Amino acid sequence: MIPGGGQPNMQQLLQQAQKMQQDLAKAQEELAHMEVDGKAGGGLVTATVTGGGELRSLEIDPKAVDPEDTETLADLIVAAVQAANENAQTLQQQKLGPLAQGLGGGIPGLPF
């Protein structure tokens, strides 16, 4: 209900919703092209993911490779990918959070 007893202007509401949808689509497209890193083992392993969480690259310092201890290397890789994904989620919140708040709260399917 509109303060003062007036009726909502449906055309205006539809235009606002359409603009928010366009802004959201643009922000999601930008996120798909942005990249963030996550590091583990003091930088021995670096994972790069897109703002959408897609793994793009993995760099492993030769010092991290011990044929006798592949478990530690695997743990470093997992930690680096997790760190990169956490950074991607932070980026998503920065880019999409204001848009979600404009829609009256969280958007279903988004992690915030």
Distance CA 46, CA 79 (A): 9
pLDDT of 23:
83
Under DSSP, the state recorded for 110 is S
pLDDT of 112:
46
Distance CA 25, CA 29 (A): 6
Cβ atoms < 10 Å from Cβ of 54: 12
Note the residue count of the chain. Answer: 112
Mean pLDDT taken over the chain: 84
Q: Among residues 16, 6, 78, 93, which one has the least CA distance to residue 47?
A: 78
pLDDT of 49:
94
pLDDT in tens, 48-76: 999 888 999 999 999 999 999 999 999 99
- Residues in the chain, pLDDT under 50: 1, 106, 112
Report CA torsion sign: 97, 45, 34, 25: negative
Rounded to 10 degrees, what is the CA torsion of 91, 108, 32, 76? Answer: 60
Q: What is this structure's pTM?
A: 0.68
Distance CA 47, CA 81 (A): 5
